[in-house]
Amino acid sequence: MNDKNRLEVLAQFIIGEARRLGASDSDVSISTWSSVDTTVRLGEVEKLESAAEGRALTVRVFLGKVMTSASTSDFRRQSLTKLVRYTITLAKAAQPDEFVGLPDKEDLAALVPDLDLYDPITAKLSVADKVTMAKACEDAARGLDPRITNSQGASFSDSHGLTVYANSQGFVGSYTGSRCSLSCSVVAQQGDSMQTDGWYNANRKLGGLGDPQVIGRIAAERVLRRLGATRGKSQDCPVVFDPVMAAQLLGQVAGVAHGGSIYRRTSFLVDKLGEQIACPELTVLDDGLIPGGLGSRPFNGEGQASRQRTFIEDGRLNGYFLDSYAARKLGTKPNGGSQSNLYIKPGTKTPEEIIASVKNGLYLTHVSGPGFNGVTGDYSRGASGIWIENGELAYPVQEITIAGNVLEMLKSIEAIGNDLEFRSSVASPTLKIGSMMIAGA
């Protein structure tokens, strides 16, 4: 029997045990994986980390309107029976919550589409192959310029996993997925200035990573342009978010659009459904069905089918991310739960054109610290980047902060780039925000 069948049978065993021990409903999520991280530093292998048979399992047990859950990596049947028994005991001591329960049956995925999430090639790579790629990447970074004096290493990581979900309504589904990534981080020095930066790519498939040397060269270029950074001055000015920073901002906005933040009313997006929350050019999509997407999944953690959703349409807030609990609580329908592949629809301007449109402002490449209040939308973060003067990247700045309110920031978006690329499950093109408060020297 292969892993898929074996684990589907195991999931059904647990559901059977839950029923036998008195649960009215139950569901089980199982994941198993193997992974290898290969790290090279200064041209030599520094670290080899691996997991041969990683595994984890979560069971949720419902006793009428009470829900409890438990997770374990001990897959022995005897231990699982014990765990289910414990979970039911815990449920007996807990309180009912009228919105608790499995999803409605008609919301469950009818079939498990093949989304092309697995690449068999990476599993066959030897350590030597991975070392070669990591070395090529680091060498390209270190070789670009003599000011690159040190390295934090280059890593090739790959993982392969199987996800199984089953519930007491009869749903059983599973799918396999793979992921590989190549990253590199180097240190550059010039006079008193020492800086680090890096670059990476990640993909479901080895073929999607691109040339290791390109990743290395980008890492080197990114660190070199930080050398000699000075403190920017306090002022109000436009801020151009590079695609990585823009994706991070998008992730923060979506992070408070989840059911829990909405029904608790701890989100600045509460009561804003249908309202204009951003400039009319901004459309944000979430699509769990992109073939080979890093966030793609045939079904979510509750067995509901993935779908395409519009989070923000022409600047209007179109929906939240609701699982079945949150949906019931808010008196609406679930829509696939947490985000999958979330992205801003690209615009028409090149990043160069966007930068050229700024007379005096910041090209943002790094932020740091938590600095985001999801309840109010207030945003204040440590920052560094390149100062833009007369439409050109002029000199690096660091040790400044950027601040504003996310609602105002979204409304003041003045340009959306055409440079959308997925290297994680949240992606954005370059964004120009009309005005933010910079604090510095």
Partner 1 sequence: MSKPITPSQYLAKSFGLTSNQLERVLGIAIGSRDKGAFADIYFQVGVTEGLVYDQGILKNPSRSDVSGAGVRTVIGDKTGYSYTDHVNVTNLAKAARNAATIAQHTGSVPPIQVGPDRAQHNLYPTAGILIGLPLPEKVDLLIRIDREARKFDPRIKNVTVSLSIQEETVVIVTSLGDLILDRRPLVRLGVSCLAEEGNRRETGSSSGGGRVDFEFFLEDERWKKHALKAAQEAIGLLSAVPAPAGEMTVVLGNGWPGVLIHEAVGHGLEGDFNRKGTSAFSKMMGEKVASPLCTIIDDGTVPGRRGSLNIDDEGVATGNTVLIEKGVLKGYLQDRTNGGLMRSGSTGNGRRESYRHVPMPRMTNTYLAGGESTPEEIIRSVKRGIYAVTFGGGQVDITNGDYTFSATSAILIEDGKLTSAVKGATLIGNGPKSLHNVSMVGNDMALDEGTGTCGKRGQSVPVGVGMPTIRIDGVTVGGTSR
Residues 257-316 that bind partner 1 (CB under 8 A): 263-266, 270
The enclosing H or E element of 398 equals strand 392-405
Site for partner 1 contains 67 (CB under 8 A): yes
CA-based R_g, the chain, Å: 24
Site for partner 1 contains 400 (CB under 8 A): yes
Judged by CB, which is closer to partner 1: 121, or 127? 127
Instruction: Say how far apart CA 408 and CA 434 lie, in whole Å.
Output: 10
Contact (CB, 8 A) for 109 and 303 = yes
Q: Please name the residues in contact with 90: beta carbons below 8 A apart, sequence gap of 6 or more.
A: 68, 70
Site for partner 1 contains 435 (CB under 8 A): no
Phi–psi pair at 261, nearest 5 degrees:
-70, -30
Judged by CB, which is closer to partner 1: 230, or 357? 230
Which residue reads 């999607």 in tokens? Answer: 208
Judged by CB, which is closer to partner 1: 105, or 264? 264
Range in contact with partner 1 (rule: CB under 8 A) among 65-73, 139-147, 173-181, 357-365: 65-73
Query: How much of the chain is helix, strand and coil, in % rounded to 5?
Result: 25, 40, 35
Judged by CB, which is closer to partner 1: 204, or 226? 226
Neighbours of 94 (CB within 10 A): 12
Judged by CB, which is closer to partner 1: 398, or 425? 398
Judged by CB, which is closer to partner 1: 46, or 104? 46
| Side chain identity at residue 325, one-letter code | Y
What is the smallest separation between the CB atom of 321 and partner 1, expressed in angstroms? 18
For partner 1, the binding residue among 181, 380, 424, 430 (CB under 8 A) is 380
For 48, the 3-state DSSP assignment is strand
What is the smallest separation between the CB atom of 233 and partner 1, expressed in angstroms? 9
For partner 1, the binding residue among 1, 53, 191, 390 (CB under 8 A) is 53
Site for partner 1 contains 94 (CB under 8 A): yes
Site for partner 1 contains 332 (CB under 8 A): no
CA-closest candidate to residue 296, choices 360, 374, 223, 205: 205
Binding residues for partner 1, how many (CB under 8 A)? 76
Site for partner 1 contains 412 (CB under 8 A): no
Site for partner 1 contains 146 (CB under 8 A): no
Contact (CB, 8 A) for 134 and 40 = yes
Instruction: Say how far apart CA 430 and CA 352 lie, in whole Å.
Output: 10
Alpha-helical runs (H) found in 158-232: 212-224
For partner 1, the binding residue among 168, 384, 424, 428 (CB under 8 A) is 384
Site for partner 1 contains 226 (CB under 8 A): yes
Site for partner 1 contains 432 (CB under 8 A): no
Sketch the per residue contact string, 155 through 194, with partner 1: x for CB under 8 A, - otherwise. Answer: --------------------------------x-----xx
What is the smallest separation between the CB atom of 293 and partner 1, expressed in angstroms? 22
Range in contact with partner 1 (rule: CB under 8 A) among 6-14, 42-50, 272-280, 341-349: 42-50
For partner 1, the binding residue among 141, 247, 402, 410 (CB under 8 A) is 402
433 beta partners: 239, 413
What is the smallest separation between the CB atom of 199 and partner 1, expressed in angstroms? 16
Instruction: Say how far apart CA 401 and CA 383 lie, in whole Å.
Output: 5
What is the smallest separation between the CB atom of 361 and partner 1, expressed in angstroms? 16
Q: Which two tokens stand for residue 337?
A: 């739960």
Sketch the per residue contact string, 95 through 134, with partner 1: x for CB under 8 A, - otherwise. Answer: x-x-----------------------------x---x---
**Could you tell me how many residues make up the chain?**
441
Q: How far apart are the first and last CA of the chain?
A: 66
Instruction: Say how far apart CA 391 and CA 393 lie, in whole Å.
Output: 7
For partner 1, the binding residue among 208, 371, 411, 418 (CB under 8 A) is 371
Site for partner 1 contains 319 (CB under 8 A): no
What is the smallest separation between the CB atom of 330 and partner 1, expressed in angstroms? 13
Residue 64 region by backbone torsions, left for phi larger than 0, else alpha for psi between -120 and 50, else beta: left
CA-closest candidate to residue 244, choices 397, 368, 364: 364
